[in-house]
Chains A and B, each alone.
Chain A
Amino acid sequence: RKEVEQDPGPFNVPEGATVAFNCTYSNSASQSFFWYRQDCRKEPKLLMSVYSSGNEDGRFTAQLNRASQYISLLIRDSKLSDSATYLCVVTLSGGYNKLIFGAGTRLAVHP
């Protein structure tokens, strides 16, 4: 079983739509949680950290459910520029920031 699992998609949505991605992680010792964004043939970039209380950054909202070991990302009012692959990432406790990546969920926003 993969340590971090995501639906690969693609999610094809029209501009203005709301879209949600989920991710599950297998290790209950996971400590930190992130969403990264990766554009085609580019390096991953941090989109946002995910906190137990939930957090929002503009049109993006992230949630963490430790009991169920899943993480979500909600994108409201989708823009064409949101088209990318969204990577769910965790780190384990007791160590440095070794990032454990999911394979990513592809989002395509169309006019």
Chain B
Amino acid sequence: GAGVSQSPSNKVTEKGKDVELRCDPISGHTALYWYRQSLGQGLEFLIYFQGNSAPDKSGLPSDRFSAERTGGSVSTLTIQRTQQEDSAVYLCASSRVGETQYFGPGTRLLVL
């Protein structure tokens, strides 16, 4: 079946611009996660959605970062006023609760 999909696969933007990253989870997966992988670093948890519960935003690095999940399915991660240190691969994962997380291919973001 279809896996997690993310778009765009690559994004180049100028410092100070806003960007939106999209994640389509696997159908039937109620849990959705965003992670960030900076060059040479491990994956860093950003935010978690589970059903209709309030999201866990504890990993968001600053208030320039926000995320939504509409209708319990598609999620968008928005970064406002991008900075060069935001350059990274942004990975989305989904799962059934308590089960294995499946990752999407990621969005490579480069802030010039």
Contacts and interface: CB of A to CB of B under 8 A. Distances in A.
A101 B105 contact: no
Contacts of B42: 2, 4, 87, 101-104
A98 B45 contact: yes
A98 B104 contact: no
Nearest to A6: B42
A43 B104 contact: yes
Contacts of A45: 103
Interface string A92-111: 00001111111110000000
Given A43-B105, A44-B103, A45-B103, A103 B98 contact: no
A29 interface: no
Contacts of B33: 98-99
Given A96-B48, A98-B33, A98-B56, A46 B43 contact: no
B100 A98 contact: no
A103 B33 CA distance: 18
Contacts of B45: 98-100
Contacts of B78: none
Interface string A49-84: 000000000000000000000000000000000000
Given A87-B42, A103-B41, A97 B31 contact: yes
Interface in A13-32: none
A101 B101 CA distance: 13
A66 B66 CA distance: 36
A28 to B, nearest CB: 19
A25 to B, nearest CB: 12
A77 to B, nearest CB: 26
Contacts of B103: 43-45
> Top 6 closest A-B pairs, CB basis?
A43-B103, A103-B42, A101-B42, A101-B43, A43-B105, A102-B42
Interface of A: 2, 4, 42-46, 87, 96-104
Interface of B: 31, 33, 35, 40-45, 48, 50, 56, 91, 93, 95, 97-101, 103-106
